[in-house]
Amino acid sequence: MQRYRSFTGYFIRKYGTRLQKVVVDAGFTCPNRDGTAGTGGCTYCDNRAFHPGYSTPQKSLTRQIDEGIEFHRVRYRKAGGYLAYFQPYSNTHAPLEELRRIYKPVLEDTRIKGIVIGTRPDCIDMEKLKYFADLSQDKIVMIEYGVESCYNRTLQRINRCHTWEQSAQAIAATAALGIHTGVHMIFGLPGESREEMLAEASLLSQLPVTSLKMHQLQIIRDTAMEKEFAERPRDFVTFSLDQYLDFVIDFLERLRPDMFIERIAGEVPPRFVRSTPWGLIRNVEILRLLEKRLEERNTYQGVRYVNPKENATPCNH
């Protein structure tokens, strides 16, 4: 019995082959860094901690793809093709003509079956979405929004410089054009209780989200959040590994049952954090523990799912 809708095997079922993501850095920035919406970036963020060493903007996209494919070829020998994953920063934060210039040569690479675009909800508009919808007629196109929280007070505190309402609007508009719509969430952000984090499952379930990535908050060295955590630790809900597994299960129970789960936890190289409270456990082992705990609790995704027609409004105080 599959107790949650794992993303593993999604590409094989949908496209008949395994596809491996290759991270590329096209040199974008973010609107909360360059002054468009704010400065300083997200208080928890150091992008070096979230993408592989072969992916740097000093290299051409072609070279990054070559090195990324070589890197993955050893581990994923059964891959029938690759997706260029534009992960660092906000990869639609540019005029449409600039996006065309960046994405066109990548999609012309016969090894690349499609693109995955990491971005923010305030960096998209209908003109860009229609461009990606046109691309999706011939190639795989997935847009992954960094939502992080459904609470405006949290988004303001972590310097996201966008709102939950913008996230909801971007997700709805993207899905309406038939584009695979992913969402990224962080659990443990300052000021949020466990109950408030669990309530986000209902809020997300009301939106046409295709797939979800969940990460526990990790305190990265030399970020503004590291200083905030040191000064106000009581503002943070922290999880032991066992506590986090139970939290994720509680969240899955409340989540729409047809939503794919891409990830339940994040991995950051130890050199970027001052402590590793869970040790050096890898995601594959965390997934194994999750499956075991789901069996022990005899539960599954969606068992406590609330009908999306019921009213649920985020608390923005």
Which CATH number does the domain housing residue 38 bear? 3.20.20.70
- Cα–Cα separations (whole angstroms), residue 51 to 34, 87, 265, 269, 301: 21, 8, 15, 10, 29
Checking phi first, is residue 35 left (phi over 0); if not, alpha (psi -120 to 50) or beta? Answer: left
Q: In the chain, how many domains are there? A: 1
Strands (E) in 178-272, as ranges, are 180-187, 211-216, 260-263
Token pair listed for 199:
């309530």
Does residue 265 fall inside a structural domain?
Answer: yes
Name the stretches of the chain with pLDDT < 50: 312, 315, 317
**Cross-strand partners of 142:** 116, 180
Token pair listed for 188:
């443990």
Does residue 270 fall inside a structural domain?
Answer: yes
Domain that holds residue 46: 10-297
How far apart are alpha carbons 14 and 2 in whole angstroms?
18
> What pLDDT is recorded for position 317?
44
Does residue 247 fall inside a structural domain?
Answer: yes
Q: Write phi, then psi, for 79 (nearest 5 degrees).
A: -65, 130
Does residue 50 fall inside a structural domain?
Answer: yes
- The tens digit of pLDDT for each residue in 60-115 reads 999 999 999 988 877 666 778 899 999 999 999 999 999 999 999 999 999 999 99
Does residue 312 fall inside a structural domain?
Answer: no
Does residue 198 fall inside a structural domain?
Answer: yes
Does residue 158 fall inside a structural domain?
Answer: yes
Does residue 34 fall inside a structural domain?
Answer: yes
